[in-house]
Amino acid sequence: MLGNFTYHNPTKVIFGKDAMDALVGELEAYGPTVQLVYGGGSIKRNGVYDQVREALARAGKTVVEDGGVMPNPTVEKLNEGVAIARENKVDLILAVGGGSCIDYAKGVAVSVNLPAGRDPWQTYWVDFEEPACEVVPVGAVLTMVGTGSEMNCGSVITNHETKMKVGHVFASPDVFPKFAVLNPEFTFTLPRYQMVAGIFDIMNHITEQYFSGTDDNTSDYLAEGLMRSLVVASRAAVRNPEDYEARSNIMWCATWALNTLIAQGKATDWEVHMLGQAVGAHTDATHGMTLSAVALPYYRLIMPYGALKFARFATAVWDVDAAGKSAEQVAAEGLDRMEAWMREIGCVMSISELGVTEDMLEALADSTLIMRGGYHALTRDEVIEVFRASL
Amino acid sequence: MLGNFTYHNPTKVIFGKDAMDALVGELEAYGPTVQLVYGGGSIKRNGVYDQVREALARAGKTVVEDGGVMPNPTVEKLNEGVAIARENKVDLILAVGGGSCIDYAKGVAVSVNLPAGRDPWQTYWVDFEEPACEVVPVGAVLTMVGTGSEMNCGSVITNHETKMKVGHVFASPDVFPKFAVLNPEFTFTLPRYQMVAGIFDIMNHITEQYFSGTDDNTSDYLAEGLMRSLVVASRAAVRNPEDYEARSNIMWCATWALNTLIAQGKATDWEVHMLGQAVGAHTDATHGMTLSAVALPYYRLIMPYGALKFARFATAVWDVDAAGKSAEQVAAEGLDRMEAWMREIGCVMSISELGVTEDMLEALADSTLIMRGGYHALTRDEVIEVFRASL
């Protein structure tokens, strides 16, 4: 049921092949100094960095470089970014990259104006406070899809010292990027493995929200629409990574998969993310592939607890013919079709392939958080069972 | 294909049974004087007016009354509202009602600060200018669903002198309501005829956008999700108008049906609205029922020009089994199922029922604008044919 909620998503998304043309105009709304956040060298190789620098120059901005953001941005890097922002009194933080860069930019943005002595990590990723200080505006130029960070208020930061990777979904609308430039062509040069990992990450963002609750609400119908679109577009993108239509639909699905719309009225599960993140913590494997490796063993285990919803998933997303079959049969067929799709596009289907060995299972279980929003809260034995089924 | 577009929808939606609790807090962000816009007496009878006045009092606001907004707000009323706003230097325009009240509030909001001598109607609904002056903030408390005005930037104003009813979809994000309070319970007391008219209006907002283009994009998948949700919820609401789950899903579908999301990448048609508005101009019939009376004759006429899309509609929304059938057969079955649903919920299926007689058909055709975004632009003979088929 759609209970009480607030939906407020103020990000201005500029989408399409010509989206970069709008960047100069967007920059003009902010003060003179821009902190330019990016990751490794890929944006320098594919020309996006030059395009952004040119727009910044045309807008007359002073640019403070802040590159080297790693795939899982760390507390140390965050503190470094905050120091850069403070020292240069930046007016805008412009993230050019994927979810890690944008998450990091938001993390810096909420921390710059913390009172002296307040630690960002403690304040936002341990105590989960909302920003009481002014938040520096964030803009984004997206070059990799999956996390939805371009149009949401989440920021995931990793603390290696305490071995914690924590996502804070802020409530304040100030944390959303003010604008996000989405040019699907910027994703063309991504290696296939990363593209497929991103696609499964998107699918899993949707299923994590979808597989919870038994009531009937619009969010689930929208989720089904997104999943159908993603399946069609992903097949086309795998055949031809430069299929603009396919890449643009994947990009747009990713944004709407995790910008709060389809979570309204939903308990949400997120257990696949917990299982996958445990794998990631012990192997440093690509996020999306840690999810694909554990998703089916998990869903097959919990299916009997939510058979009617899994059967709905089978018919609504995978066109399984339900005539004359039990809900469990229909549900199982749906998961089989999902498996066939995953294999077709090239998802990693086993944690062995990511470097997990049997002797690591206990440690993986120790690292797995148990969620309670889905159809069944796993026991520790079941966590092990899921991992073992994925070996 | 998802081409170039900007998506920017800054309205804060507060949804649910307890949504009104947030109104005082929202009001606090604005200056002391509030223009309170509403229609007839229904909000006084159902208690919503008292709740709003109480919130305004608790927020310490000075209230300027502006009631009596008619179903199709007129230029005369608009000018009256602008005079009220100017005289009282209002800081916020709070619309309590349905789409007409909110459309009217937006119309006043963009006109208050026009330079002396500039006519609102001419500026915005004839010349379609964007507001160059400051726009007074608008807030909304929704009591009737259908138009989506609570979360979009459109404003329809009627000029009886020139016999024009014109909608201006502004581009400026300033025209969106700043906040919208959506309590599904506020719609419980609406008469069944109005509820059903609203439901078909929502369905038609979706189909007007959906039945255009032949490419494959996420917008159509989202549209299919909204339609499936609406069909299920409408059946439940007709059985029991106080089914909160059903009414909340209908309300949320209405908002997303026309807040620009599912229009991205779409040419959009809107011919059913043109045909229906012609009927409305000559009969003063309820908007949604003018649409339901003409929709099927129109869709059956154009179906051969867009058979593949109509076939997709049949399978994706109405679960028609396509095995062994031609696209036209599948499409026709889909439209038959839509007709069955329309009859089941109580839509008006004939313009005779709305007061149209055969001798009016030429005049109706004169009043019908021909759109070119759908699968087939009607000839004048075809316009007559559609109306005749609905007699």
pLDDT of residue B165: 82
CB proximity A15 to B under 8 Å? yes
Residue B158 pLDDT greater than 80, yes or no: yes
Residues B46, B106 within the same domain: yes
- Domain closes at, from A186, A216, A243: A186
Torsion of CA A296, A297, A299, A304, to 10 degrees: 140
Q: Are residues B250 and B368 in the same domain?
A: yes
Does residue A40 belong to the interface with chain B, where contact is any CB pair within 8 Å? no
Q: Which residue of B has its CA nearest to A3?
A: B16
Q: Which domain holds residue B57?
A: 12-186
List all residues of chain A from 172 to 211 with a beta carbon under 8 Å from chain B. Answer: 173, 184
* Encoded tokens for A267: 């308990």
The CA distance from B301 to B307, in Å, is 11
Selected for mutation to probe chain A from B209, B229, B259, B262 (highest A CB count within 10 Å) is B229
ipTM of predicted assembly, 2 dp: 0.96
Query: Tens digits of per-residue pLDDT, B209-224?
Result: 999 999 999 999 999 9
Residue A160, token pair as written in the block: 């290696």
Contacts of A373 by beta carbon, 8 Å cutoff, 6+ apart = A212, A267, A268, A269, A270
Cβ-based contacts of A5 with chain B (< 8 Å) = 15-16
- Domain assignment present for residue A7? The answer is no
- What's residue B218's pLDDT? 98
Q: Does position A285 have pLDDT exceeding 80, yes or no?
A: yes
Q: List all residues of chain B from 315 to 344 with a beta carbon under 8 Å from chain A.
A: 316
* Number of independent structural domains in chain B: 2
Q: Are residues A272 and A315 in the same domain?
A: yes
For strand A62-66 and strand A12-15, is the pairing parallel, antiparallel, or unpaired?
A: unpaired
Q: CB contact, 8 Å: B25 with chain A?
A: no
B16 touches chain A (CB under 8 A): yes
> How big is chain A, counted in residues?
391
Q: Burial, B366: exposed, middle or buried (Cβ in 10 Å; 0-12, 13-18, 19+)?
A: exposed
Question: CA angle, A238 as apex, A235 and A241 as ends, to 5°?
Answer: 125
Beta-carbon neighbour count of residue A214 at 10 Å? 8
**Closest to A211 (Cα-Cα) out of A109, A113, A331, A68:** A331
B 297-316 → A contacts, CB under 8 A:
316
**Shared-domain flag, residues B280 and B162:** no
A224 touches chain B (CB under 8 A): yes
pLDDT, tens digit, 9 for 90 and up, residues B227-271:
999 999 999 999 999 999 999 999 999 999 999 999 999 999 999
Q: Is A256 on the interface with B (CB under 8 A)?
A: yes
In sequence order, which ranges of chain A are alpha helices (DSSP H)? 23-27, 42-45, 48-58, 75-88, 99-111, 120, 192-210, 218-239, 244-257, 271-283, 287-302, 307-318, 327-345, 361-366, 380-389
Give A386→chain B minimum CA distance, Å.
32
* Shared domain check, A90 and A231: no
Residue A249 lies in a domain: yes
B71 and B168 in a single domain? The answer is yes
Q: Report the 10 Å Cβ neighbour count for B231.
A: 20
Q: How confident is the model at residue B341 (pLDDT cuts 50, 70, 90)?
A: very high
- Which CATH number characterizes residue A140's domain? 3.40.50.1970
The tokens 């759908």 sit on which residue?
Answer: B374
Same domain, B227 and B272: yes
Closest-CA distance of chain B to residue A32, Å:
24
Least confident of A245-254, A379-388, B23-32, B158-167: B158-167
For residues A180 and A221, state if they share a domain.
Answer: no
Q: Which residues pair with A34 in a beta bridge?
A: A63, A92
Does a structural domain hold residue A105? Answer: yes
A6/B17 CB distance under 8 A? no
The nearest alpha carbon in chain B to A221 belongs to: B225
Per-position b or e across A44-53, b if 16+ CB within 10 A of its CB: eebebbebbe
Amino acid at A262: I
The domain boundary residue, chosen from B155, B186, B217: B186
Q: Rg (Cα) of chain A, in Å, rounded?
A: 21
The mean pLDDT of chain A is 96
**Cα–Cα dist B3/B265, whole Å:** 6
Over the stretch A99-110, which tens digit does the pLDDT of each residue have? Answer: 999 999 999 999
Residue B133 confidence class, pLDDT cut points 50, 70, 90: very high
Pairing of the two strands A33-38 and A92-97: parallel
Query: Per-residue pLDDT averaged across A74-85, rounded?
Result: 98
- Over residues B48-73, the mean pLDDT reads 97
**Alpha carbon A200 to its chain's center:** 10
Looking at the structure, tell me whether residues A108 and A160 fall in a common domain: yes
B222 and A CB contact within 8 Å: yes
Task: From B147, B169, B186, give the residue that closes a domain.
Answer: B186
The enclosing domain of A361 has a CATH number of 1.20.1090.10
Closest CA to B173 of A29, A172, A182: A29
Task: Give the model's pLDDT for residue A243.
Answer: 97
Cβ burial of A60 (10 Å; 0-12, 13-18, 19+) is: exposed
Which residue is associated with the tokens 């490796």?
A: A293
Give the model's pLDDT for residue A281.
86
Q: How far is A383 from chain B (nearest CA, A)?
A: 34
Kindly tell me if the per-residue pLDDT of B2 is higher than 90: no
Whether the Cβ atoms of residue B145 and residue B133 lie closer than 8 Å to each other: no
Return d(Cα A47, Cα B32) in angstroms, integer.
51
Nearest CB to B13; choose among A6, A11, A316: A6
Percent of chain A with pLDDT over 70: 100
- Looking at residue A25, its amino acid is G
> Lowest-confidence range among A128-142, A150-164, A292-306, A358-372?
A150-164
- Residues B237 and B371 placed together within one structural domain of the fold: yes
Identify whether A3 is part of a domain.
Answer: no
Residue B2 in any domain: the answer is no
| CB of A244 less than 8 A from some CB of B | yes
Q: Is the per-residue pLDDT at B331 higher than 80?
A: yes
Average pLDDT over residues B23-46: 95
* B352 lies in some domain: yes
pLDDT at position A245 is 96
pLDDT mean over B90-94: 98
Note the pLDDT of residue B391. Answer: 97
The answer to whether residue B1 sits within a structural domain is: no
* Chain B CA closest to residue A20: B4
Cβ within 8 Å, pair A15-B223:
no
- Do A179 and A215 fall into the same domain? no
Residue B242 within a domain: yes
Q: Average of pLDDT values for A133-141?
A: 98
pLDDT of residue B48: 96
CB pairs under 8 A between A and B: 136
Tell me, yes or no, whether B87 and B61 share the same domain: yes
Percentage of residues in chain B having pLDDT higher than 90? 94
pLDDT surpassing 90 at residue B172: yes
Residue A163 reports pLDDT greater than 80: no
Cβ separation B12–A6 shorter than 8 A: yes
Within 8 A of A17 by CB-CB distance, chain B residues are 3-4
Q: Is the pLDDT of residue A343 over 80?
A: yes
